[in-house]
Amino acid sequence: MKVAIVHDYLNQRGGAEKVVAVFHEMFPEAPIFTSIVDRSMLGSELANADIRPSWMQKLPGWKKHFRKYLLLYPKAIESFDLREYDLILSSSSAFAKGALKKQEGMHICYCYTPMRFVWDYDNYIARENVPKLYAKVLPFFLERLRRWDIETSSRPDHYVAISSEVQRRIKTFYGRDSKVIFPPVETQKFQPMESCGNFYLIVSRLASYKRIDLAIQAFNHLGLPLKIIGWGPYQGELKGMARPHIEFLGRLSDREVAHYYGTCKALIFPGLEDFGLVPLEANAAGSPVIAFKGGGALDTITEGINGLFFTEPSVKSLVGAIQTMENKRFYFQSTKIREYALKFDTAVFKDKFRKLFTELDIHKKIA
């Protein structure tokens, strides 16, 4: 059986691209169709993959101006001739679910969220730090994308959601049922450390919607040490509000990040995310998490086992959770926290997809 993988775009490295890499491990002979690809941004897992970009790859200045070509992505995805493939496995947060298949083929969409910029515009603007002028013009074009999104929602035969929250959105916006399979976590890269440092940790892109400002205000109030790994457009403003006991470490290697995961008192996860791999990476290193009670964290955090919640997006609520962690940190056992994280391991992800193929009676064809 011939398999094709379709992904929105490959011009960054994030959780979705890690999923594509795992799909590539599962189907190494399957070509990866995508609108644009920046090979300098690919990890080693995709270095030798058969990646086939669309005609958008020839557009002038696409690396810098890829957002400005927003209205072209649907046509780019639809331009792929996938008639020779029996199974289309799309990895989609916007466009890949619109891929066209042959009539007797099957299309399974792994959905990170329905198209954010038409269904959750305000949060999209905050998430992507879109220029003000572009943000003013964009709404005039979004109705066209909304119609396309609804029209193409019937193209996948089956949806798989990354979290219960995304499953709810798929039902709300598309009227489609879906199965939840959590994204893969490379737990083998992280191990508990023998000693624990006297600091809390944030690992994040420094964008406004991540709510790092909330954490900085809380730690300013408490006077406890906080280390922040990551970079982004909001970092200047964040540094300006932080007191000296809050340290910005910038970009670090995977090995360095793993060390900080394993030696922190706890990871702080203050934003509202569709899923969130970072908390589970910290858990794989044996460290608990303090997370906002919403979004994907509801699927990944069990209070008292691998972390604590704060219930309101406020400094007061987060301060209370940190104080609870200060008093009850010894209740958390690194070995049990890691055992919890192993339930989200890459091997579990692969196994659940194989079981899905069995349920859909296609496992014999792709064996």
The per-residue pLDDT for 124 is 63
Q: Which residues of the chain have pLDDT under 50?
A: 367
Q: What is the pLDDT of residues 240-297, one digit of tens each?
A: 999 999 999 999 999 999 999 999 999 999 999 999 899 999 999 999 999 999 999 9
Structurally, at CATH architecture level, domain 187-343 sits in: 3-Layer(aba) Sandwich (3.40)
The per-residue pLDDT for 148 is 95
Structurally, at CATH architecture level, domain 3-184+346-366 sits in: 3-Layer(aba) Sandwich (3.40)
72 contacts 95 by C-beta, under 8 angstroms: no
The per-residue pLDDT for 362 is 76
Both tokens of 102, joined, read: 């042959």
Taking the C-alpha atoms of residue 181 and residue 343, their distance in angstroms, rounded to an integer, is 11
User: What's the one-letter identity of residue 267?
Assistant: L
CA distances from 20 to 89, 110, 254, 366 (A): 10, 10, 19, 18
CA nearest to 94, candidates 31, 169, 24, 25: 169
The per-residue pLDDT for 270 is 97
Which residues make beta-bridge pairs with 32? Answer: 5, 51
The per-residue pLDDT for 127 is 56
Taking the C-alpha atoms of residue 251 and residue 313, their distance in angstroms, rounded to an integer, is 26
> Are the folds of 3-184+346-366 and 187-343 the same?
yes
Domain-wise residue ranges, the chain: 3-184+346-366, 187-343
The per-residue pLDDT for 162 is 97
